[in-house]
Amino acid sequence: MTISTFYDFPHIVAAEDIDQLGHAGNFHYIKWMQHAAIAHSTANGWPTERYETLGAGWVVRSHQITYLKPAFEGDEVLIRTWVASARPALSVRKYEIKHADGTLLATAETEWVFVNYKTQRPVRIPPEVASCFKLLEE
């Protein structure tokens, strides 16, 4: 298996993504980010089921997003994601959300905490998980 630093998650903006202002609503960007993160983890050998078997996995601590341009129904967008840093129980994942024509629509980052599913407490990121993600520190 090849470990990918970047992961590109394509999405076509659907009617249900559109808010009362006629463009993709803010929380839909966060949904796309989460889908991209899960797809990247899966591509690197850690699908949801593997975390369930381990009894631990990622939960969101915080999101930060800067919206630059709107997306509209039918637009093809690409959510690029990568892991920027990791500490014992916390990881920062970054994102660029672009229109298919290359226009940058938003930049974002999420702090993910690795938790034991039973206790809901942070635990160290296991080496077998950490080794499946290349860091791209800025």
pLDDT tens, the chain, 138 aa long: 678 789 999 999 999 999 999 999 999 999 999 999 999 999 999 999 999 999 999 999 999 999 999 999 999 999 999 999 999 999 999 999 999 999 999 999 999 999 999 999 999 999 999 999 998 876
Just give the CATH number of 7-129.
3.10.129.10
Phi, then psi, of 50 in degrees rounded to 5: -70, -40
CB 94 within 8 A of CB 84: yes
> What three-state secondary structure class fits 95?
strand
pLDDT at position 122 is 98
State the DSSP code for 135: B
